[in-house]
Structure formats: structure tokens, C-alpha cells
Structure 1
Amino acid sequence: TPDTPESVQDNQVSVAAPQTFTIVTSQRRNSGFPCRTCDRVFTREYTRKVHEEAHATKAAGPLRCREPDCNTTFQRSHDRLRHEVRIHGHEAHTCTICNNMFSSLKSLQRHHCKFSSTQS
């Protein structure tokens, strides 16, 4: 309005905007965007969509879990190994420097960790 001083208009806008932002942010944080496949919850819908696409890629992967009653498949062998260790309790051999997991001790021994200062 023309008879309202400009400083009052600015003050009204700057007070209302942060309150609205805080309410929307806290509501989104409480509800989040849950993955429809697993129990992860994301703060952004886009991040959830990208994550869910990874589930779809795993489902179409050529590497099947080696557990007899599990039909989960993966594109990458390290994803399959991580699944087998976490879900089915398989043993893994882990590099103490970079935490990469290997299914056999021989594979771990062949591993040349890029973070190691004593590479041969």
C-alpha cells in the first residue's frame, strides 16, 4: 500500500519468511522421504529417488546372492559381498587400512591398498 512505510513492509516480509521456512523444514525433517524398499529415510525426495534406482539396478544385476534361499542380485561383486556379510553373516576379510572387504584371505593378500605407505 502507498501509505505504508517501506521499512514496515520489509520487516513484515523478513519476519514471515523465516518462520514459514522453519515450519516447513521441521515438518520435512520429521516425516522425511522413506525408501519404499528398505528402512532408509532421506531429507530430499530427489536423493530418495536416486537411492531407489540403485535398488532397481541391484534387482536386475547378474550376480546372485550365494545364500540358497535369497534371490537378491547385484551389479557389483563388492555390493553382493557386503550384503552377504551384513544380512547372512558371511565371513569377510577386511583391509585394516581402507576397510575394503574380500571374500577370501588370498584376495586380501593380493590387495594393494592405495592408502598404504608400504606398497610393494
Structure 2
Amino acid sequence: MTNHDCYDLVADCHLRAVTDLFAHTWDPVVLVALRPGPSRRRELRAAIGGISDKVLTETLNRLLANGLIERRSHAEAPPRVDYSLSELGTSLVEGPMRELGRWAVEHGEALLDAQEASSQLQAR
């Protein structure tokens, strides 16, 4: 068995590395917001309701560190910086995240119903 098999789900397991991307609430949201094309920070904040500037900065830095987005500085006055999906980020958004979105549309109501039923049982 190689380290890539991940049967033990060790810290450096590829599956754990990928699922960690979804542990941060805003990571998938920012990735989807970048799907249409490059955006500036203020455009991202406007497109994403409820995200603070601090959280957006942390999210962009994390996505950059994971190679999912790219940062491009333009030599202009005033300086301009755009963020866009990298090839790796595009493959994530157009592949697994798109399928997860389809699953959510198909099964979202059942999921919410189960959560509601569980919270009502716990309240008793």
C-alpha cells in the first residue's frame, strides 16, 4: 500500500487535503464567485454577501497557497490586482463542486428536512 492509497487517512492523505478545502466555509463560495472570470477584491466582496474584508483576505491567501487561484498585479496608477481561478481551481469548480451542486439541488430539501426533524427531536 502506498501513501497515496489513504486507507489510514493519515495527515498527508490526498483525500484529507481535498476535504480540508471544504472545512473553511468561504473557500467554495469564493471559488464559485471567481468562476465567471477575474475579479478585484471589491468586486468579490460585492458579489459575496456577508463576507468581511478580513475573512476575504484570509480566504484568498489560503486559496492562493493551495494553488486554486492566481493573483495578477497590473502596473497601473492606482495599482490594480485581479484574482482568478487557476487551472487546478477550475478543475475543482467544474468537476467535483459542480457535481456537489447538482446533488444539493436534487437532495437539498431532504437534507434540510432531516436536520429539522433531528433538531425537533433534540428539543423534546
Pairwise TM-score range, normalised by the shorter structure: under 0.3
* TM-score, length of structure 1 as denominator length: 0.25
TM-score computed with the length of structure 2 as normaliser = 0.25
User: Which structure has more RCO (C-alpha within 8 Å, separation ≥ 6)?
Assistant: 2
